[in-house]
Amino acid sequence: MKFTTAFKAIATAGAMALMMSTAASAVTLQMHNGGDPGTLDPHKASGDWENRVIGDYIEGLLTENAKAEAIPGQAESWDISEDGTVYTFHLRDGIQWSDGTPVTAGDFVFAFQRLFNPATAADYAYLQFPIKNSEKINSGEITDLNELGVKAIDDKTVEITLEASTPFFLDALTHYTAYPVPKHLVEKLGDNWTKVENIVGNGPYLIKEWLPGSYVRSEKNPGYYDAANVQIDEVFYHVLEDQAAALNRYRAGEFDILTDFPADQYQWLQDNMPGQAHVVPFLGVYYYVMNQEEGQVLSDARIREALSTTVVREVIGPDILGTGELPAYGWVPPGTNNYVENAYQPEWASVPYEDRVAHAKELMTEAGYGPDKPLTLQLRYNTNDNHQRIAVAIAAMWEPLGVKVELFNAETAVHYDALRAGDFQVGRAGWLLDYNDPSNTLDLLKTGISQDGTMNWGNNYGRYSNAEYDKLMVQASTELDLKARGELLAQAEKIAMDEFAAIPIYWYVSKDVVSPKISGFEENAKNIFRTRWLSKSE
């Protein structure tokens, strides 16, 4: 749903009035959340702007502590079989949905079956593919959902069986794809269960209001098992993709936390608000995808190579953004667990830039393009000052190749819908690791799954496909020796990067601004900070 500027202004004014009216009686956190949530359903969500809201009102078997490390959530303990393939989770006593209905093992079984059911069309279902038969159910090869390796031993015991021992599985269970959903409501209301008038949760907060284009508002859940230690009474998750405007509102005291800021304001923040800007390396890659579907111009690997090798990554972080992001040539972020020691580094990266441009021109000529026949490409990005600066810079880098770039920006939800639909040529994307393992980024480049005669490419927006790559990923998924597994995954990364499956540009740093009034904010490599751990003083 779209709203006019005037309507948004009225909505914002109403939100501010509500903030002031509640300030005297409640501790309210004003969080800049960036993009507009497309959904509050954990099986439909796709971004950190949704994760921040969903992770406050639903809790999985495991959850995150203040440093985003996996800790007990709805399960107070668990046992793991000797071969590492069977996990038995024991639920806490007395946990319940906010309407008073008990949270049972059946809710978790139902949720996992719903996640993998092809009818749900959950783009991120593959994050839980370590679970036995999950991929076969998701692809339609197995139609009986009861064949899934998730069982309710009794109301308080959930048993999960994996295809093979998976070193990152507990961490993966902190992701929203592993969250329970209220079986009693979903069966009754279908997808309407997440409407504000229907929605229930089992986490530290409850959704009370959702005004698309403006904000989501949550309140503390008095029925949460650790409610006594939850300090923030109310949370506003504000929708605002204009980072300069967000910073101005922060300076005016309207926001307590910014989840992003214009990179060119970093030095100003350091000089004028020392200690409030938090710029921290974390596990993620900023990249461009290229549409490689048959018939698309970028299905030609020569053009992809020319484009990728002429991006001067070294200037992006220090010069264009000013926040020190490191150049990325590979697909797996440095510091990722269970991987080889040395990151992928292509030979062409050490070739002088002038020589790379000369070779790229030759490749473009071979592909049928040149001064007399320039290539025009549309480069799409979601509306954001930093994305625009990078797009303008890279368009300039491609000019010597005879490539004319048309820049096109859209709000976040529209942008990612276009990527999933294949309605683009070059598109900006980013990936933050959901769990600390190389498979989490490498899975993005696996060939899509055939469903009902169509291909579901999930988050492989560029439609990259390589049979040897897929084979290595399958081998790695069942390899118990972590060193051997890491080497298989490294081979897969090399294949994809040597074929220019995408254009990695830089390794992410998180960019948050946190008011001195806020305590409990912990910098971490996932850039996840749940409201449960925060407090606010006046």
Q: Which pLDDT band, with edges at 50, 70 and 90, does 13 fall under?
A: very low
CA distance 398 to 357: 9
Chain segment 275-311, per-residue pLDDT in tens: 999 998 889 999 999 999 999 999 999 999 999 999 9
Instruction: In whole angstroms, give the CA distance from residue 286 to residue 429.
Output: 6
Residues 41, 101 within the same domain: no
**CATH number of the structural domain spanning residue 75:** 3.90.76.10
pLDDT band of 517, cuts 50, 70, 90:
very high
Q: Is residue 160 part of a domain?
A: yes
Q: Do the Cβ atoms of 116 and 127 come closer than 8 Å?
A: no
- The answer to whether the CB of 204 falls within 8 A of the CB of 218 is no
Where are any strands of DSSP class E within 6-147? 28-34, 62-64, 70-72, 75-80, 86-91
The model's pTM is: 0.79
Q: How does pLDDT run across 314-367, given as a tens digit for each residue? A: 999 999 998 889 999 999 999 898 899 877 899 999 999 999 999 999 999 999
Residues 46, 180, single domain; the answer is: no
pLDDT at 228 over 80: yes
CA distance 134 to 118: 11
Question: Once rounded to an integer, what is the mean pLDDT over residues 12-35?
Answer: 67
Number of domains in the chain: 3
Q: Average pLDDT, stretch 192-207?
A: 97
Could you report the per-residue pLDDT of 134-152, keeping only the tens digit for each? 999 999 999 999 999 999 9
Specify whether 286 is located in the same domain as 406: yes
Nearest Cα to 290, choosing from 445, 454, 99? Answer: 445
For residue 337, the model assigns a pLDDT of 86
Tell me, what DSSP letter sits at residue 479?
-
Range of the domain at 131: 59-188
**What residues are paired with 364 via a beta bridge?**
none
Q: What is the mean pLDDT of the segment spanning 183-195?
A: 97
**Cβ burial 28-40 (10 Å sphere, 16+ → b, else e):** bbbbbbbbbbbeb
Q: Using CA atoms, how far apart are residues 49 and 527, in angstroms rounded to an integer?
A: 12
Q: d(Cα 528, Cα 434) in Å, to the nearest integer?
A: 10
Do residues 170 and 213 share a domain? no
Written as six digits, the tokens of 266 are: 């970093």
> What are the respective helix, strand and coil percentages of the chain, to the nearest 5?
40, 25, 40
The answer to whether the CB of 192 falls within 8 A of the CB of 198 is yes
pLDDT value, residue 452: 63
Q: Is residue 151 part of a domain?
A: yes
Give 218's pLDDT tier (boundaries 50, 70, 90): very high
* Paired strand residues for 518: 536
| pLDDT confidence tier of residue 448, bands split at 50, 70 and 90 | confident
Is the distance from CB of 332 to CB of 441 less than 8 angstroms?
Answer: yes
CA torsion through residues 258, 260, 265, 271, sign: positive
**Is residue 274 a part of any domain in this protein?**
no
What are the CA-CA distances from residue 78 to residues 102, 156, 245 (Å)?
A: 20, 12, 46
Q: How far apart are CA 398 and CA 395, in angstroms?
A: 5
> At residue 388, does pLDDT exceed 70?
yes
The pLDDT confidence band at residue 23, using thresholds 50, 70 and 90, is very low
Residues 6 and 27 in one domain: yes
H-state helical runs in 24-133: 48-57, 105-116
Task: Answer yes or no: is pLDDT of 474 > 70.
Answer: yes
Residue 184 has pLDDT above 90, yes or no: yes
CATH code, domain carrying 409: 3.10.105.10
**Are 218 and 164 contained in the same domain?**
no
Residues 456, 388, single domain; the answer is yes
Residue at which a domain ends, from 188, 221, 239: 188
Specify whether 50 is located in the same domain as 125: no
Contact 219, 16 (CB under 8 A): no
Q: End-to-end distance of the chain based on CA atoms, in angstroms?
A: 36
Measuring CA to CA, which residue among 285, 294, 287, 290 is closest to residue 403?
290
Reported as type and span, the H/E element at residue 239 is strand 234-239
With respect to residue 91, please indicate whether it lies within any of the assigned structural domains.
yes
SS3 for 506?
Answer: strand
Q: What is the CATH number of the domain that holds 46?
A: 3.40.190.10
Q: Are residue 72 and residue 27 in the same domain, yes or no?
A: no
66 and 84 part of one domain: yes
Q: Would 297 be classed as within a structural domain? A: yes
Longest dimension (CA), the chain: 73
Report d(CA 449, CA 141) in Å as an integer. Answer: 11
User: What is the pLDDT at residue 281?
Assistant: 84
What is the structure's pLDDT at 435? 86
On whether residue 17 sits in a domain, the answer given is: yes
User: Does residue 19 register a pLDDT over 70?
Assistant: no
Average pLDDT over residues 378-401: 96
Q: Under a CB-based contact definition with an 8 Å cutoff, are residues 176 and 54 in contact?
A: yes
| CA–CA distance, 338 with 81 (Å, rounded to integer) | 21
Distance CA 342, CA 313 (A): 19
Residue 19 lies in a domain: yes
Summary mean pLDDT of the chain = 92
In the predicted structure, residue 2 carries a pLDDT above the cut 80: no
Domain shared by 475 and 369, yes or no: yes
Q: 414 exposed, middle or buried (CB, 10 Å; 0-12, 13-18, 19+)?
A: middle
DSSP structural state of residue 269:
H
In a domain? residue 277: no
Query: pLDDT tens digits for 74-112?
Result: 999 999 999 999 999 999 999 999 999 999 999 999 999
Residues 400 and 530 in one domain: no
Q: Where are the beta strands (DSSP E) in 452-515?
A: 454-456, 503-514
